[in-house]
Amino acid sequence: MPGGNRTRDRSNGSLLVTGGTGFLGLHACQYFRDQGWDVTAFDLKPFEEEDGTDGIDYVEGDVRSERSVADALEESDATAVVHAAAALPLWDADRIRETTIDGTRNVLWAAHEGGVERVCYISSTAVYGTHDTHPITEESPLEGVGPYGEAKIQAEKVCEDFRRMGLCVPILRPKTFIGPQRLGVFQVLFDWIEDGANVPLVGWGTNQYQLLHVHDLLTAIDLLLTDDKEAVNSTFNVGTDEFTTMKADFQAPIDYAGTGKRTIGTPAVLTVAVLRVLDRLNLSPLYPWVYETAHEDSYVSVEKLKALGWEPEYSNREALVETYDWYLEHDESNEADDETGLDHRVAWDQGALAVAKKVSQQI
Same domain, 164 and 195: no
Query: Is position 128 within any domain?
Result: yes
Question: Does residue 337 share a domain with residue 192?
Answer: yes
| pTM listed for this prediction | 0.91
CA 82 – CA 18 distance, rounded (Å): 6
**CA nearest to 221, candidates 66, 12, 21, 51:** 12
pLDDT at res. 300: 98
Residues 51 and 89 in one domain: yes
Same domain, 201 and 105: no
CATH code, 78: 3.40.50.720
Looking at 169, 197, 227, the residue that finishes a domain is 169
Q: Looking at the domain assignment, is residue 26 inside a domain? A: yes
Q: pLDDT per residue over 165-224, tens digit each? A: 999 999 999 999 999 988 878 888 999 999 999 999 999 999 999 999 999 999 999 999
Asked if 81 and 119 count as a contact pair (C-beta separation under 8 A), the reply is: yes
Looking at residue 173, what is its pLDDT?
98
pLDDT in tens, 285-341: 777 778 888 999 999 999 999 999 999 999 999 999 999 999 999 866 544 444 444
Residue 354, in any domain of the structure: yes
Same domain as 111, residue 44? yes
| 174 beta partners | 238
What's the CA gap between 119 and 168, in Å, rounded? 6
Smallest CA-to-CA distance from 70 within 118, 103, 25 is with: 103
Is the pLDDT assigned to residue 135 strictly greater than 90? yes
Q: Is the pLDDT of residue 3 over 60?
A: no
Residues 142 and 197 in one domain: no
Are residues 191 and 269 located together in one domain of the fold?
A: yes
Write the CB contacts of 258 (distance below 8 Å, at least 6 apart in sequence).
Answer: none
Residues 194 and 343 in one domain: yes
- From CA 246, how far away is CA 254, in angstroms rounded? 13
Instruction: Note whether residue 107 is domain-resident.
Output: yes
Residue 200 and residue 165 in one domain: no
Residue-wise pLDDT for 338-358, tens only, equals: 444 445 455 556 766 776 666
The listed range with the strongest mean pLDDT (3-7, 142-146, 226-230) is 226-230
Computed over every residue of the chain, the mean pLDDT equals 90
pLDDT at 240 over 70: yes
Q: Is 199 contained in some domain?
A: yes
Nearest to 346 by CA among 110, 206, 182, 162: 182
Q: Which of 169, 200, 230 is where one domain is finished?
A: 169
For residue 95, is pLDDT > 80? yes
* Alpha-helix runs per DSSP H in 19-92: 23-34, 66-76
Dump pLDDT digits (tens) for 96-117. 999 999 999 999 999 999 999 9
Confidence at residue 263, expressed as pLDDT on a 0 to 100 scale: 97
> What is the number of domains present in the chain?
2
Does the pLDDT of residue 7 top 80, yes or no? no
CA dihedral 329, 332, 337, 342 (to 10 degrees): -20
The domain containing residue 31 runs over which residues? 14-169
Query: Same domain, yes or no, for 72 and 145?
Result: yes
* Residue 31: inside a domain: yes
For 36-62, write each residue's pLDDT tens digit. 999 999 999 999 888 989 999 999 999
**Inside any domain, residue 318:** no
Residue 234 lies in a domain: no
Burial (0-12, 13-18, 19+ Cβ within 10 Å), 262: middle
Per-residue model confidence (pLDDT) at position 5: 35
From 169, 193, 222, the end of a domain falls on 169
86, 204: one domain: no
Q: Give percent of the chain with pLDDT exceeding 70.
A: 89
Are 124 and 186 in the same domain?
no
Decide if pLDDT at 131 tops 50: yes
pLDDT-derived band at 123, boundaries 50, 70, 90:
very high
Q: How confident is the model at residue 231 (pLDDT cuts 50, 70, 90)?
A: very high
